[in-house]
């Protein structure tokens, strides 16, 4: 299983990604190991979706990233939440 996720930082920034192990990935972001997310720690999970295959998760991640900051992105956060 793969999880598409949205993280929110303590400063209000968002990060979209996908992984096969969400707990490990969150630890990775919060440990400072990821250069792009290091300055905005700590991160919390605010949205998830599950997919059975990597290709579907990757496509969904790309779709979410394509409308970041717009109405569709905000709707995901208000209507969805962590599943």
The CATH number given to whatever domain includes residue 60 is: 3.40.1440.10
Per-residue model confidence (pLDDT) at position 31: 97
Joined together, the tokens standing for residue 19 give 């992984």
Residue at token pair 């400072």: 32
Q: How many domains does the chain divide into?
A: 1
Model confidence over 60-69: pLDDT tens digits? Answer: 999 999 987 7
Q: What whole-number distance in Å separates Cα of residue 83 and Cα of residue 67?
A: 20
Domain residues for the domain of 66 are 2-79
Below-70 pLDDT ranges, the chain: 81-83
Q: What whole-number distance in Å separates Cα of residue 3 and Cα of residue 83?
A: 10
Per-residue model confidence (pLDDT) at position 83: 58
Contact between residue 23 and residue 44 where contact means Cβ atoms under 8 Å apart = no
């Amino acid at each position: 299983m793969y999880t598409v996720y949205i993280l929110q930082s303590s400063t209000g920034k968002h990060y979209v990604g996908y992984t096969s192990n969400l707990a490990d990935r969150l630890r990775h972001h919060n440990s400072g190991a990821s250069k792009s997310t290091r300055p905005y720690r700590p991160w919390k999970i605010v949205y998830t979706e599950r997919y059975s295959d990597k290709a579907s998760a990757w496509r969904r991640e790309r779709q979410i990233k394509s409308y970041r900051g717009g109405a569709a992105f905000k709707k995901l956060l208000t209507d969805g939440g962590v599943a």
